[in-house]
Structure 1
Amino acid sequence: GDNRGEPGTKHPFFSDKAVRRALAMATDRNSVAEQLYGGGLSGKASCNILTAPEPMNSKNTDGLDICKFDLNAANAELDKAGWVKGSDGVRAKGPVKLKILYQTTVNPVRQKTQDIMKANWEKVGFQVELKSVPAGTFFTNTSPDGANHFWSDVEMFTNSGDPDPTSYFVGWTTKQMTGKANNWQFGNYHRYSNPDLDAVVDSLRKETDQKKRNDLAIKANDILVSDVVVIPLINRTFATSGVSKSLKGVDPTPWDSEMWNIADWTK
């Protein structure tokens, strides 16, 4: 019913961390980057939810098993957790089947990404139904098909950057859980609640030492990734604006086009 997206409602199978882990292991972000983002020209595979500035880009996730595409490991994770494949190839535990409704906006690249995800997820025992929603409907708090309601099982969109990561990570804190009570206007669409993350973000809000802020931002990223609250896919980048050995005055930033200060360029 309509309580499916309320903070107090548990998801029938994603509340099992093993299922979330298996989904992450069956996620082939490298193929998405290669096939849909020009092999890194306009986007690079990343398992971090925060990728910039560079001192806050975690290196800890490089060694996580959930950040490596491995269908055998995904199958083993589900086997161990007691999710059994039926004659239809879909895994179940008791009456609960691993049936996913996966939604995003109407967008060729995102829909092709859905196709790549679906093909691999179904190899390990998920049944995946794809749904595409017009952007004007998806990015609103008023529609049942909107990202804010999150009445699907998985949804995909792009997060925008912010020079200060505090406001970004606040979107996963307990006080920001969205639902009927706030007309789905708060930022925590996942309804994720973790006291450890809340404490890290609270410290980040108060900390002024840059090195400590970098460490706190990395810690927040690592909590979200390791708990498989999100499955990061692509760090979208701008295509190279030009190539020259004698070009001077270039001042790149992760927050804007490389050409933001082109008036200052000289040769």
Structure 2
Amino acid sequence: HMLAAGSDAAAAFAVKPIGTGPYVVDAFAPNDAVQYSINPNYREPNKPFFKTVNLKGGGDAASAARAVLQTGDWDFAWNLQVDPEILNGLAEGGQGDLVIVPGTAVEFIALNFSDPNKEVDGQRSQWQTPNPVLGDKTVRQALALGVDRQTISENFYFGPPGEPPASNILLGIAGAESPNTSWEFDIDQGNALLDAAGWVREGDVRQKNGVPLNITYATTSQNEVRQNTQAVIKGDWEKMGFCVELLQIEASVFFDTSAGNDQTFYHMYWDVHEYAWSPAGPYPLSYMLRWVSHDGENIPQKENGWAAVNEERYTNPAYDALYDEAAQETDPQRAAELFIAMNDMLIDDVVVIPIVQRASEKYGLAKTLNKENIAGGPFESLYWNIANWNRTN
């Protein structure tokens, strides 16, 4: 066996692997480039279509987009996380097409059902200590009404159809996407709800029974799209009498799982936070686990080292029952019905506020490449069928 020689063989294999794919590695420069040539033993006759493939890394996404869409120096550029206005401008260069593939990721706001400001048993956001503001469903409904998803979708993302406003937390999986939900942006209705629930304005900020309508809103830093989204939402929420404090946390800290780091999304030492998440596969059981309580066992707490996933501290036995049934269900149609029911419960109870359905892929493609043979999707690498890629001529 080629790896029998030990560590030296393994190191050589890491930079020049041999597999069963359409191409083999000729040269690999870490953090720079990979050069491939046709695998002479590939199983499909007359494939692949290109004699060589060169992948170039490094640089920035805007430069990669320009090299395909504007100058035509390269054929393909993927993961183009570039401001929509800039990317659309580059797409007018005439050398390539900008392709946006809808995905399963949702940019959303998660709401903390526990109190992030009160310490109990050596921790804040203790799951049995209700949030004095967000514990009121009327407040959560007002917050949802105050999120201008259309403006956010069209100004900070690519808008419909690739990145449309979202009304579901489970999206992009055929058969499991709920047809039962909707969204609306209505500041006046949000104000009316808060008035009827007894949240009274005292100056710019409402209060009820001495509790001010204060919200701390966290997201990741060094992300212009999220900071812009925060600013829009803060302005609209404050029109309804909320006092909103914005927090930006470095992504490596925010998504860290260390028990000693209290600035993580699992600690959730604030009222709401925003980020994107998506199912790992077409059967989204692990994704929907995120809102299961199981009597607190699935809620991140000091007692379990914050090693659980229900960050919102949402506790609903009816939701748990739906999940438990789905975990044992073998009929695909019934499972889809259960996933839809779970989604609808989360939306109705305003556990989360979906904002935008994120694209799974944004890539630039030379006009000389056959677009129909490049089959992107939310659960696959774009290169999975590179054996089929060819020129239009």
Structure 2: gaps of 5 or more residues: 1-117
What is the CA distance between 1:50 and its match in structure 2? 0.6
Indicate the residue corresponding to 1:152 in structure 2: 270
CA distance in 1, matches of 2:358, 2:146: 21
- 1:19 pairs with 2:19: no
Deviations 1:91-121 (A, max 9, x none): 1102101111100111211111100110110
What is the CA distance between 1:160 and its match in structure 2? 2.8
Deviations 1:118-164 (A, max 9, x none): 01100111110101001111112332211111010111111132212
CA distance in 1, matches of 2:385, 2:341: 33
What TM-score results when the alignment is normalised by the length of structure 1? 0.91
Structure with more of its chain in helix, by fraction: 1
Q: Quick one: which amino acid aligns to residue 170 of structure 1?
A: L
CA distance in 1, matches of 2:254, 2:132: 23
CA distance in 2, matches of 1:38, 1:24: 22
What is the CA distance between 1:234 and its match in structure 2? 1.2
Indicate the residue corresponding to 1:103 in structure 2: 218
Deviations 1:161-202 (A, max 9, x none): 221211111111113111111111100011111111101111
Q: Is the 8 A contact 1:61 1:222 kept in 2?
A: yes
CA distance in 1, matches of 2:368, 2:339: 35
CA distance in 2, matches of 1:113, 1:257: 29
Indicate the residue corresponding to 1:180 in structure 2: 302
Report the RMSD for the aligned CA atoms in angstroms: 2.0
DSSP 3-state at the match of 1:234: strand
Q: Percent identity among equivalent residues? A: 38
CA distance in 2, matches of 1:12, 1:25: 20
Deviations 1:216-265 (A, max 9, x none): 11111011111000111111102365579975444442324555423323
- 1:80 pairs with 2:196: yes
Q: Is the 8 A contact 1:41 1:240 kept in 2?
A: no
CA distance in 1, matches of 2:168, 2:142: 17
Q: Pick from 57, 61, 70: which aligns with 2:186?
A: 70
What is the CA distance between 1:209 and its match in structure 2? 1.1
Distance 1:149 1:246, change over 3 A: closer
Distance 1:218 1:240, change over 3 A: farther
Indicate the residue corresponding to 1:168 in structure 2: 287
Deviates more, 1:217-226 or 1:160-169: 160-169
Distance 1:261 1:14, change over 3 A: same
Deviates more, 1:33-42 or 1:103-112: 33-42
Indicate the residue corresponding to 1:59 in structure 2: 179
What is the CA distance between 1:73 and its match in structure 2? 0.9
Q: Pick from 118, 123, 127: which aligns with 1:7?
A: 127
Indicate the residue corresponding to 1:29 in structure 2: 149
Residue correspondence of structure 1 range 110-259 to structure 2 within 5 A: 110-141=226-257, 142-163=260-281, 164-175=283-294, 176-237=298-359, 238-239=361-362, 242=365, 247-256=371-380
DSSP 3-state at the match of 1:174: coil
Question: Considering only CA atoms, is the larger Rg found in Structure 1 or Structure 2?
Answer: 2
What TM-score results when the alignment is normalised by the length of structure 2? 0.63
Aligned residue pairs total 262
CA distance in 2, matches of 1:144, 1:123: 31
CA distance in 1, matches of 2:162, 2:373: 23
Q: Is the 8 A contact 1:241 1:259 kept in 2?
A: no
Indicate the residue corresponding to 1:264 in structure 2: 388
Q: Is the 8 A contact 2:285 2:327 kept in 1?
A: yes
Q: Is the 8 A contact 1:42 1:239 kept in 2?
A: no
Q: Quick one: which amino acid aligns to residue 180 of structure 2?
A: N
DSSP 3-state at the match of 1:60: coil
Indicate the residue corresponding to 2:88 in structure 1: none
DSSP 3-state at the match of 1:32: helix
